[in-house]
Amino acid sequence: MRIGVDSEVCEAHGQCSIVDMDLFPLDDDGYSAVGPDREVPEGEEDTAKLGVDACPVRALKVLS
C-alpha cells in the first residue's frame, strides 16, 4: 500500500499525525511531511486508512 499528500491542499490540521505520528510525520510548521508517494509498512494498512480518512481537507490519498 502507498500513500501520499497533496501539499497544495494540506492545511496543517495535524489530524493525520494524531492517528500515527510515524506513518504521518509533520514538518516543523505542522504540514504533512508524508511526501507525494510513500510505502506503508506491512501490517499498518488499517492505521494508514484511518489517518487518510482523518484529514479534514482530503489532502491525503491511498495511491495503491
Regarding 48 and contact with ligand SF4 (CB under 6 A), the answer is: no
> For residues 45 and 53, is the Cβ–Cβ distance under 8 A?
no
Regarding 32 and contact with ligand SF4 (CB under 6 A), the answer is: yes
- DSSP assignment of 15-48 equals HHHHH-TTTS-B-TTS-B---S-EEPPTT-HHHH
- Which of other proteins, ligand SF4, none has residue 38 at its interface (CB below 5 to 8 Å by kind)? none
DSSP state of 4: E
Instruction: Single out the residue of 3, 5, 23, 48 in contact with ligand SF4 (rule: CB under 6 A).
Output: 5
Residue ranges in contact with other proteins by CB under 8 A: 11-15, 17-22, 26, 29-30, 50, 54, 56-58
